[in-house]
Amino acid sequence: MGRFWEGRYKCQVLLDEASLLACAAYVDLNPIRAAIAETPEGSEFTGAKDRLEDLTERSVAAVEVTATTTSTKSTRRTHLWERSRRRKQSGWLSPIEIDEAIDVVGADACEHGQRCSQKRFLRCTLSMYMELLDWTGRQISEGKRGQILAHLNPILTRIGLDAPG
């Protein structure tokens, strides 16, 4: 049994944010590269799909509120929302965003046990990660069948979260 696992699976230490970002994008884009899905929001069993479903649901429920807020307040609200229990699909995932002004350094285990940590996943916003995922998925990858098609709108526009203008 050891040979089976050793030959197929490898352990790789992720030492910095660049390697963590590359690994996350690889996992979230795997169904697209395998030509199983056409977009991240259509990729079953990925963190990106779960995050997008919750973000879309949250945005639909709060259209009036976000229309009157500034970007700083909106960013703070998203930061706090990502740490809440109100994420039906992506609650098992660690949050992406960090607010260095209010987030403390060190261990942060969740008392409700839904996920191992409330700490950040990456030093970027959820929107930035999704835009990067969309851009990366459009790149032609040698030896891979799938990519996000060039004629599709950007991801935030496709899911109705990109403000026009």
pLDDT tens per residue across span 42-85: 999 898 998 888 877 776 655 544 444 444 555 566 666 666 66
User: Which residues make Cβ contacts (< 8 Å) with residue 65, sequence separation at least 6?
Assistant: none
The pTM score is 0.71
Domain ranges of the chain: 15-158
User: Which residues make Cβ contacts (< 8 Å) with residue 22, sequence separation at least 6?
Assistant: none
pLDDT, tens digit (0-9, with 9 covering 90-100), for 21-49? 898 899 999 999 999 999 999 999 898 99
